[in-house]
Amino acid sequence: MNTSTKRKLWIGGGLGLAVIGVTIGAMRPKHVSGAQPGGAPDVEVVQVEQKDVPIFGEWIGTLDGFTNADVRAQVSGYLQRQGYQEGAFVRKGQLLFEIDPRPFKRRSIKPKGSWRRRRPRLPTLKRFKAGPNSMSTATFLWRKSRPPASKT
């Protein structure tokens, strides 16, 4: 294609878009808003009176306290009760939450049972006493960790 035909295509395309735009603009309805065409709007009229009116405002926001504390659990469990009211001041050492104690009681009973199972073996362990050629565990481990002595 030479330059003159390209120019003619660009001009024809621009004129075609202009014609389409004018046609769509002419076909649009004139009164898009909900008001009646040609009529005056209805307006209410009241007498002015003087009185006290409360002034208030409503805003959405987030409050940030002067001192904030993150409360994180050091143990896991189910909460039985909350020992403070939301937004109230709390003191150092005050009970904040009460956790269900049953899992902790079960854990404390279990070691006692295992100690009782090992208890009959204690007298047999006490019978073995150190003799003149015996060494302590620390001495044994120290000798074991040393490199072997070279024989020269």
Q: In this predicted structure, what is the pLDDT of residue 27?
A: 81
Which tops the pLDDT comparison, 7 or 36?
7
**SS3 for 33?**
coil
CA dist., res. 37 & res. 43, Å (int): 16
pTM over 0.75: no
Q: Which residue has the higher pLDDT, 70 or 92?
A: 92
Burial of 77 (0-12, 13-18, 19+ CB in 10 A): middle
Residue 103 sits at the vertex; the CA angle it makes with 99 and 105, to the nearest 5 degrees, is: 100
Q: How many CB atoms lie within 10 A of CB 133?
A: 5
Give the per-residue pLDDT at 86: 83
Residue, of 29 and 152, whose pLDDT is higher: 29
Task: State pLDDT tens for residues 32-82.
Answer: 555 556 677 788 999 999 999 888 888 898 877 777 777 777 778 888 888
The CA dihedral of 76, 82, 85, 90, to the nearest 10 degrees, is: -60
Round to whole Å and give the CA distance between 58 and 99. 39
Q: What is the pLDDT of residue 139?
A: 67
Predicted pLDDT of residue 80: 87
Asked whether residue 105 carries a pLDDT value surpassing 90, the answer given is no
